[in-house]
Amino acid sequence: MEEAKRILYGRRRGRKLRGGQRELLDDVVPGLDIALDEAARPVAPETLFDRPVREVWLEVGFGAGEHLLTQAAANRDVGLIGCEPYVTGVVRMVRGLVDARLDNVRLWRDDARLLIDGLAEASLSRVFVLFPDPWPKTRHHKRRFLSRPVVERLAAVMRDDAELRIATDDSGYLVWILDRLRRSGSFRWTARTASDWRSRPSDWPATRYELKAIEEGRRCAYLRYRRLPRDRQGA
């Protein structure tokens, strides 16, 4: 049975921030933070940006932000929400935003599940969950982000035909992910051949973690799913 408790596992803080990083955290990050008003839920994510955006994408656990920044720069008409509680990763990503003068990113620095629960249904056009912690020990499987309740909630907030991209370098977690997505009945795996999930697509920027995994000899899987139209769900 999968645990439904809302406990955020993992690090929030690392080494002490340097002066410039502290300034970013104090002066820039608050202007990017998303604040969800309980009374105003559900929230239409496009309203979280200062200018009109064509659609909204969500990245859960962006690490140091390599993927998020590249996507934001390549898709300036798209609003991106990045979820990451680790402060050092946040300030590294925000430094990249400032340097590139990007204005289409907003931050959620708490449990991503809380944000997802607050969003309007059928409001996201793409979701990225790249190399989530596999929590390999059996007793820790309840900590895995891609649980059945989260997959169900993602299906609710994603538009019909929206894309869900997932990457992992852990074979056990790969099996877990494939099982949860298959059981949901809301997603269609787009892979037709093995190369479709063994090779990263050209519009899928690499992350620092991924490059490290490859350097250490671990094989990565790149999964792409489409949210089934609601009138075809479970077909």
Active site residues: 133
- Measured over the CA atoms of residue 73, residue 13, residue 58 and residue 234, the dihedral's sign is positive
Cα 57 to Cα 39: distance, rounded to the nearest angstrom: 24
Yes or no: say if 204 and 222 are a contact pair by the CB < 8 Å rule: yes
Cα 51 to Cα 46: distance, rounded to the nearest angstrom: 9
**Looking at the DSSP assignment, which residues form a beta bridge with residue 43?**
119
Helices (H), the chain: 19-23, 29-32, 66-74, 87-100, 112-118, 148-157, 171-184, 195-198, 208-215
DSSP state of 74: H
Q: Nearest 10 degrees: CA dihedral of 213, 169, 227, 80?
A: -30
Contacts of 50 (CB under 8 A, 6+ apart): 103
